[in-house]
Chain A
Amino acid sequence: MAARPGGGKERASRIPLNYYKKRDAIARWKLGLSLLAALFTLGWWATGFSLGGPGLVSQNAMGRLRASHGPLTRAHATWDARCDACHASFQPIGDDSWTRKIGLTSASADTRCQSCHAVLDHHAETGKPGDTALKSCGGCHRDHQGRDASLVRLPASDCTSCHKDLKGHTQTGAASFASAITSFAGDHPEFALIKQKQGDLGTLKFNHALHMSKGLIEGETQKPVFTLAQLGEEDQKRYAREGQGASDGVQLECASCHRPDNGKLPPASSPLGVEAMASLLSSGTGGYMKPISYRTDCAACHKLEVIMARGEAETKVTVPHRLQPSALHETLTNLSIGLSLGKDVKTLEKFTPSSRPRPGRRDEAEQSAREEVQARVTKAERILLGEGKGTCTECHQYRPSEGTITSKIDFTRRLDEYAVEPTFVETVWYKHALFDHFAHRGVSCQGCHESAYPNAPKPSRSNDDVLIPGKSSCVQCHAPEGRDGQGNPTGGAGQDCTECHTYHADEQSPGVHRVEPLDRLKFAEFLKGTGDGKGP
């Protein structure tokens, strides 16, 4: 029956009771788009496994790339889309505490790393077994940080997790190093080299202050200035500073002798100065300085010359470096004989017996010639092995066959009883840390090696002085950023342990052993990653 117009039935039927069963436009859009979103999302992920191909990325690679949370470092870029090269499915690559607690270890992933990186374990034998602080490879070397990210520049916390309480992480409860280090600027101990005050064990006599003084003389003195004119022509060019003439005193700089190990000498004409140029040299490393060498660093000034006289004629002869006293005697004898032979034919005759020699008798002329030669040799030896400038003794010390090391030779004894003591000049002072001079090229040498300069409060005049800076010098920069009392900026440079230290210690360190490399892979296997548990 139809509703009567104007009646209650019409009023009730204005909106049908089942109106809610029909979706409106917005509801239809919501449902449709939701289904589409689910399909699209799954499709986007799934298509990753079917896209790609030779020349782009291998099949399935795109899907894996989508799983990657960042590009691998350049060295590992080959395996950017080959997760199995490093990852073991459903096993952690880095041992975080929570994964260990549920029984997951990174052993499989570590094996993959070690198939290429056969590094030394870090005190594996001295560390506590099962110590959660001892990390897996991936626990410290975190990849997927971008192509240029370093896997070895690690935050200090990776080290201080143990080193803040080292005794608590060793089997014996003892530590051979400082046992509580939490930061470099804070509780890192003074460098052992400085703390132990053992001095320079080298024997080369050297006065840094003198060598850094103009004219190689210190203070007010009547001694003559050592001028550029006293150097050879080539050396004059090398040591002359801008605006200097031949009559000017030689002014050495650090870089005059200490050259970075990149093998290049700075051009002498550099307007920046030799020292500055040396620091700016591009190099393979340039981290350390080359060992000091007599030939390249001393010979220009310290010529091993001696004057030999024959009659009124004087001849300047140069003896080679690196001769022991006995060899020096032999060399001087030869030079002396040569001097005699080269100047006078009659002398030659004296060395050529005119008649058959008779036992027990010596020709007088020969005897005279021998004495002349010996006299010249003795005089030269006294000069070269004696005391004073231009002698071996000026720099070297001697070890007699009996007795202790000495700076003087007793000429009443035979020369072959003495040996020149090796100089033992250190080339690398920090034994447990790395230092890179090249990285510090922006800082003046004087900033760290102040005592080498004559104007220092305590200039170094003895080879016993160690001019290597202590921690206080480093923390001027390698400390938290701040301001000093005058408002000057302090700190701000890197303070992580890896700035100076390496983790995988050398074989001499206690408790380390070399991890044996696994079987090597074929080239093709290496490139594609095997995924069979062996690693790349």
Chain B
Amino acid sequence: MLLFDRDNWPRHRPWLAFVAMATLGATLWYAVASLMASRLLGGGSLPGFTFGVIGGVICLFEFLIWPRKKFRAWRIGRVQTWMKLHIWLGLLSLPILVLHSGFRLGGSISAALMILFLVVIASGVWGLALQNILPRKMLVEVPAETIHSQIDRILGHHHDEAARLVQETCGKAVAGSSARTPSASSPEAPDDDEDEDAEETRHFVVGAVRSAGKISGKVLQSRSAGPSVEGSEALRVFYDLTAGPFLTPDGLKGSPLRQAERARVIFEDLRTKLDVRAHPAADALENLCDQRRQLAEQQKLHFWLHSWLVVHLPLSVALIVLMFVHIYVALKYL
């Protein structure tokens, strides 16, 4: 579910109105008080101090979303509600704390605090934009999406499945061929006994993307291998030289299969070299290569989807620490 979409926007509308009204009210109060004082009031004035307290409480609340997400089992409101509050109160804190500052950076601590605050807000808004755009993109472009941390493991599976598929289609590998040799990176690499079992059962699993109407996703498919096909050596060669390396975690770079259109042409060409009985194997291999590209895309999108947090979170921590320093110093030298 996206943070903002057409369906949930009505639920955000009251918050937008609240933030707008609160900003307007705070600005009016500040403007009137400043006009009466004929100067821009700072954090020590009544409105400035009030904004400081409100802004500080908001910052603390904003920070609490980290432990809230960390400890999901805690029953203190839905994470979705927390996130909504995190977004809108975070946005509200910007005008509130700018008014608290009196439009001045002040000394080192307050200047550092304000700069940190602005970067945190900016990174948060950047993150919010990414979180609203990229999941939609991911849904459309990566139907084979899997758990990000498990991509390498899945790639190992794919590699093994492809090797088994090629072996089942082309028959026993001749010396020097890598087909039917499970990937070293695969944590689930079947041992020799399992190979024998597999040979005996002639069943294996292939991850494939299937679509049903508007929904598309990855499904695991058990396939039963048929008899080996004469004259399918081209498939083995293709696997050994091109598809096999491409299916490894580091195989993306320099591979001709990296580009979808080029891959389609290559597979079309492969099929012309194969007996028609070997075409299902070529199709399955093409499907695995397609998933490989999707997982690469997922890795890229995942990086953008989460890397902003590498800035947002540490700076938020620094902001909270410095905020307490600022509170102590401001009250000491009131």
Contacts and interface: CB of A to CB of B under 8 A. Distances in A.
Contact of B149 (A22, A36, A41, A155): A22
Contacts of A99: 334
Interface in B108-161: 108-110, 112, 146-150, 153-154, 157
A323 interface: no
The residue in A37, A93, A96, A496 that gathers the most chain B C-beta atoms within 10 A of its C-beta is A37
Interface residues of B, number: 59
A65 interface: yes
Interface stretch (A5-13, A223-231, A293-301, A526-534): A5-13
Interface in A73-106: 83, 87, 89-94, 96-99, 104
B75 interface: no
Given A2-B193, A4-B197, A67-B333, A496 B38 contact: yes
B71 to A, nearest CB: 13
Contacts of A36: 314
A29 B147 CA distance: 19
B313 interface: yes
Given A36-B314, A41-B321, A69-B107, A19 B332 contact: no
B90 to A, nearest CB: 18
A68 interface: yes
A155 B39 contact: yes
Interface stretch (B77-85, B91-99, B304-312): B304-312
A24 B148 contact: yes
A368 interface: no
A381 to B, nearest CB: 64
Contacts of B333: 67, 83, 87, 89, 93
Given A13-B188, A14-B188, A70 B106 contact: yes
A41 B332 contact: no
On chain A, which size bracket covers the interface?
Answer: 35 or more
A237 to B, nearest CB: 51
Contacts of A156: 38
A351 interface: no
Interface in A123-161: 144, 155-158
Given A67-B109, A70-B106, A87-B333, A11 B321 contact: no
Pairs A-B, 8 closest by C-beta atoms: A6-B203, A155-B38, A69-B106, A33-B314, A37-B314, A37-B318, A69-B107, A66-B108
20 contacts: A2-B190, A2-B193, A5-B164, A6-B205, A6-B222, A7-B222, A10-B205, A13-B188, A15-B146, A15-B147, A15-B150, A26-B310, A30-B309, A37-B315, A69-B104, A96-B44, A155-B37, A156-B38, A157-B36, A157-B39
Given A2-B194, A34-B317, A89-B333, 14 more contacts: A2-B191, A6-B203, A26-B303, A26-B306, A33-B313, A35-B317, A36-B314, A41-B318, A45-B322, A66-B107, A70-B104, A87-B333, A93-B333, A98-B49
